[in-house]
Amino acid sequence: MVRDNPVLVSRKIAILGFRAVGKTSLTTKFISGKFESTYDPTIESTFHKTIRFRRVHFATDIIDTAGMDEYSRLSRNASVGVHGYVMMYSTTSLQSFQKIEQINTTLLNMLGDAPDVPRILRDASFLRGFPLRIFCCSQ
C-alpha cells in the first residue's frame, strides 16, 4: 500500500494584546508545553511549530508581539502575510480588556480592504470576554 506524502501548508499567526497579558506565556506553552510565569517584556519573537492534522502538516509561524498601547503600530512581520490574529487580554486587568477594541480597530484600519482575516479573542473568563467577542466578530 503506497501512502501519499502529507500536504505541507504554511501559516502565520500574530498574537496581539496590551503589555503583560500573557502573550508569551500562551505561545511558549503551545510551542513547548512549558508554562513560563515570569514576566519578561517582549519586543517581538517568532516561534515555529509544525501541526499535523490528518494528511496535512501546517508549518506555523507564531509572531509574539510587543505589548500594544495607543501609540503602537504593528511591525511588518506581524502584519504582512498573516493568516490570523489572536487578541489577548488579562482577566486581572480591565485596562487590557478595554484596549482590545482599540487594537481591533487599529488592525482593521491596517488591513484596509482585507478585513476578513480571522481574528479571535483569547478570553480566560467567558462572562467578561463574551460582549467583546461579539463585538470583534461582528465587525
Cβ neighbours of 23 (radius 10 Å): 28
pLDDT tens for each residue of 101-116: 888 888 888 887 666 7
State the cell numbers at 40.
519578561
Segments forming the whole domain that contains residue 71: 7-138
pLDDT of 131 reads: 56
Query: Is 2 among the domain residues?
Result: no
Query: Is 93 among the domain residues?
Result: yes
pTM of the model: 0.79
State the cell numbers at 68.
500594544
Query: Is 1 among the domain residues?
Result: no
Structural contact between residues 15 and 78, judged by C-beta atoms closer than 8 angstroms: no
Query: Is 15 among the domain residues?
Result: yes
How confident is the chain (139 residues) per 10-residue block, as mean pLDDT?
80 92 88 82 90 94 86 78 91 87 85 76 57 50
With b meaning 16 or more CB within 10 Å and e meaning fewer, what string describes 75-89?
Answer: eeebbeebeebbbbb
CATH number at residue 68: 3.40.50.300
The structural domain count of the chain equals 1
pLDDT of 92 reads: 81
Query: Is 120 among the domain residues?
Result: yes
pLDDT tens for each residue of 32-45: 988 777 778 788 89
Query: Is 40 among the domain residues?
Result: yes
